[in-house]
Amino acid sequence: MEQERFDRQLQLLLLLSQGHPQDIETLSRELGISRRSIYRYIDTFRRMGFVVEKRSTRYRIDPSSPFFRKITDRIHFTEAEAVTINRVLNAVYDRSPEVRHLREKLSGLYDFKVLARHGVDEHIAQNLSTLYDAVKLEQVVVLRNYVSPNSGKVSDRTVEPYMFMSENSEVRCYEVTTGMNKTFKISRAERVDLLDMLWSHKDKHLPFYTDLFGFSGEKRFPVRIALGPLAARLLIEESPNALSQMTLLNDGRYLLETEVCNYKGIGRFVLGLCDDVEVLSPNEFQEYLRERIRFLTQKIGA
């Protein structure tokens, strides 16, 4: 009996330490224990020195709690060390998955407010810090006096931010008033206000992809092309993770099977290296290239 109670306490501790705030009802259902017991365990965690945060009806344990710090002291960086590592990573022009993963891991382990204060405009740093809290705690924000890049119109935008993009210069959000997922430039908001409101449209937060050729979108289209040695080398230099989507063919060429968000990016690549690339599928992409070739032919007067 004592062992079972201890197991439940550990499971609760793990769930509360995962990052996102947890609802008491959900915890009770998942662990099979009463709400009263959960509140009692949470009080115990507080007395043991854990920093327990409460947001509305949800709870989480701050990963920087003294108990965790004692366990991870040998691998934990000081604020100055974390900032130094962040500066080095930001100074490296490397789009490899390893460097990107290091950036993401660092921002996940350390308070974004600390990292954001260094090396960027204070205005952007403050916006980024508030947005980071909103994503972490699943809360709604208002982008105050946001300047639209298309119309130049200035307005407040109430959104649910859920994904950072373009090395944290943009944020993907669900806009409450329009019911649409949109990408917002963080620097275009005068400030970001965190509201005491939890997300209510999480099921509508659609994934957003960036393909090998730098184009982003919610939809993806499969493409198969054969690359000669030159085209393959240039693509790998530009997008190292393309290698995992390439297969060596018997004739020495490489088969690239990937998904793209827009034909423009891959179309530019194919047309620029047309003597070293063969488009295998789909027919829609082949027709797109024919149209671009016709347009270019008319444009240069041939």
- Domains of the chain, earliest start first: 2-69 (1.10.10.10), 79-204 (no CATH), 210-299 (no CATH)
- pLDDT tens digit sequence for 99-123: 666 666 666 555 555 554 444 556 7
**Model confidence pTM above 0.95:** no
Phi, psi of 264 (to 5 degrees): -65, -45
Rounded to whole angstroms, what are the CA distances from 125 to 80, 105, 128, 142, 193?
A: 17, 19, 5, 16, 14
3-state secondary structure of 96: coil
Task: Output the pLDDT for position 105.
Answer: 66
Closest to 129 in 3D by CA, of 156, 110, 154: 110
Residue the block writes with tokens 């240039």: 234
Work out the average pLDDT over 119-141. Answer: 81
User: What is the C-alpha separation between 242 and 273, in angstroms, rounded?
Assistant: 17
Task: Output the pLDDT for position 32.
Answer: 86
